[in-house]
Amino acid sequence: MGAWRIETDFNFTGNLDTQISSLFFNMTKDMAIWKRISQLYSGNLFIGLFLKNYNEGISISSTAINCISGRGLKLDFDIYSAYLEAISDDEIF
């Protein structure tokens, strides 16, 4: 068992398309290679979202989605809300 981990710079803009594009920029564009890799290994793209507010929207373009799915990768999100940090424990319960 092993792992191959590639990261992009931390980005506050919320532009996932740019982040995804920069992640794959220096990797092979040959989809036959990606197909073979995805047949041999389980791959995923992990995105951590840190929200300023408890309710925010974000989008990913179809081009970025195709970039991920064309490589046979699963898309994982962890979403962190600032809401709980902004209120006291008394208000939660």
DSSP element (H, E) containing 79: strand 74-80
Q: Is residue 58 domain-resident?
A: yes
Q: Is residue 86 domain-resident?
A: yes
Domain with 61, as residue range(s), is: 44-93
Instruction: Tell me the CA distances in angstroms from 23 to 37, 77, 86, one per residue in order.
Output: 17, 16, 32
Q: What is the pTM of this model?
A: 0.75
Tens digits of residue pLDDT in 33-89: 999 999 999 999 999 888 887 778 889 999 999 999 999 999 999 988 876 555 555
What's the confidence (pLDDT) of residue 7? 82
User: Could you give the CA distance from residue 39 to residue 76 in angstroms, rounded to a whole number?
Assistant: 19
Q: Is residue 28 domain-resident?
A: no
Tens digits of residue pLDDT in 3-37: 888 888 777 777 899 999 989 998 999 999 999 99
Q: Is residue 89 domain-resident?
A: yes
Q: Is residue 5 domain-resident?
A: no
DSSP 70: T
Nearest 5°: the CA angle 64, 20, 63 is 10
Domain count, the chain: 1
Instruction: Look at phi and psi of residue 72 and say left if phi exceeds 0, alpha if psi is from -120 to 50, else beta.
Output: left
What's the confidence (pLDDT) of residue 87? 55
What are the tokens at 1?
């068992």
- More confident: 90 or 3: 3
